[in-house]
Chains A and B, each alone.
Chain A
Amino acid sequence: GENVEQHPSTLSVQEGDSAVIKCTYSDSASNYFPWYKQELGKRPQLIIDIRSNVGEKKDQRIAVTLNKTAKHFSLHITETQPEDSAVYFCAASDRNTGGGNKLTFGTGTQLKVEL
């Protein structure tokens, strides 16, 4: 099955700086890579995703890049703000044995944006 590794586990940046979180995956058949943000005590919420036929996707201050050959993808947050402080999870989608969009998650990155 799929295995997703995520680094770093904690990341502290100054407000206004950029933050980068990296993930690697093992299954070359995985074709969909979402990123979720989870604020303290809240549910994970999708912030951006990328499909395997695209190398980069951007949405305002966040961007995701995908390198299929190397099997890694990254989340980039520019001009960080205190409200960006949260746990971020990457995930890779492969198929459950019975079908269906199975998400395998990384272990999460605690991002802290300091004033």
Chain B
Amino acid sequence: EAQVTQNPRYLITVTGKKLTVTCSQNMNHEYMSWYRQDPGLGLRQIYYSMNVEVTDKGDVPEGYKVSRKEKRNFPLILESPSPNQTSLYFCASSLWGGPGDTQYFGPGTRLTVL
């Protein structure tokens, strides 16, 4: 089954404790992206990747890191999480990242930073 998966689905952590949220897709998509969703703000792009070893900042990259060592994986790293990073995070992927290319979303990761 074609899908985007994320782990963990729920995470409660404390300020400053490094964490990684994994994202994997089995559709051989070149484009992958991370969004955060906050009430009243919609979804905002954090980072994106056009292909292996190619990543770039979205609209709200501060406090986050990503890597794209393999085509299928695009982990989101929070080196020193803070309470304002409490949010719902979605990974998405699309075939090639061009105009009109449909993005498919993972199931989401609800992160709480205490």
Contacts and interface: CB of A to CB of B under 8 A. Distances in A.
Contacts of B50: 98-100
Nearest to B59: A1
Contacts, number: 75
Interface stretch (B66-74, B77-85, B95-103): B95-103
Given A1-B59, A43-B108, A98-B56, A103 B103 contact: yes
Given A89-B42, A108-B42, A96 B56 contact: yes
Interface in A41-59: 42-46, 49, 51
Contacts of A102: 45, 48, 58
Nearest to A34: B102
A43 B58 CA distance: 20
The DSSP consensus for interface residues of chain A is: strand
A31 B48 CA distance: 19
B34 interface: no
Interface string B39-59: 011111100101000101011
Nearest to B54: A98
B53 to A, nearest CB: 13
Contacts of B108: 42-43
A32 B98 CA distance: 10
Given A96-B56, A99-B50, A104-B59, 18 more contacts: A4-B42, A9-B40, A42-B107, A43-B106, A43-B108, A44-B90, A44-B105, A49-B102, A89-B42, A89-B43, A93-B99, A100-B56, A100-B98, A101-B94, A101-B99, A103-B45, A106-B42, A107-B40
Interface of A: 1, 4, 6, 9, 31-32, 34, 36, 42-46, 49, 51, 89, 93, 95-108
Interface of B: 31, 33, 35, 40-45, 48, 50, 54, 56, 58-59, 90, 94, 97-108
